[in-house]
Structures are given as structure tokens and as C-alpha cells.
Amino acid sequence: MYRITVVEMVIFGSLASLDFVWGLADLLMALMAIINLIAIALLLGKIAFAALADYQKQKKSGKNPVFHVNNIKGLKNVECWGDPSDNVDVKKEA
């Protein structure tokens, strides 16, 4: 089904006027961006605001804000940041 749609769109794009094709492409890209922004806001908004609150709390207490996975409720399967009590040395690559 996808391949058929792609072939149809290629044929349509070669027959239609350039202005119409660019206008349609712009419209579809805007629609895709709006859908993605809504999905990100709904799925990640709660976690993003929790991370922002943790950052502001650390900043107000005079600390250099550092992200730790245990400070944010609702995070699952996070591989990059561990528990602040873990004494893991992170080597910086040059």
C-alpha cells in the first residue's frame, strides 16, 4: 500500500504545477510538525515540567544543577543517568 501511494505521489508531482507541489509539501510538513508537537507535549510534558522543577529547585538551593534519574518521578528505562549515590566515574572523551 505504501509503495503504491509513493508511486502515485511521484506521478502526481511530475504532472502538477511546481507552485502547487511546493504548497502541498509545505502544508503536509506543517501538519506533520503540529501532530508531532502535540504528541510530544502530551507524552513528555509531565516529565519535562518535572525536570524543569528539579532544575529550578537545585538552582535555588545554590547547587550546580545536575540531572539524576531518581529525582524525576515517572522515568523508566533510562540508561544514561544513574543514581547520584552511584560512584561511577565518567570519562570525558577528547
User: 94 pLDDT band (50/70/90 cuts)?
Assistant: very low
What average pLDDT score do residues 73-84 get? 71
Residues 6+ away with beta carbon under 8 Å from 18: none
Tens of pLDDT, residues 20-74? 999 999 999 999 999 999 988 898 888 888 889 999 999 999 988 888 888 888 7
Q: Residues 39, 45, 46, CA angle at the centre, nearest 5°?
A: 130
User: 81 pLDDT band (50/70/90 cuts)?
Assistant: low
Higher pLDDT, 86 or 21: 21
User: 85 pLDDT band (50/70/90 cuts)?
Assistant: low
Q: First vs last Cα of the chain: how many Å apart?
A: 48
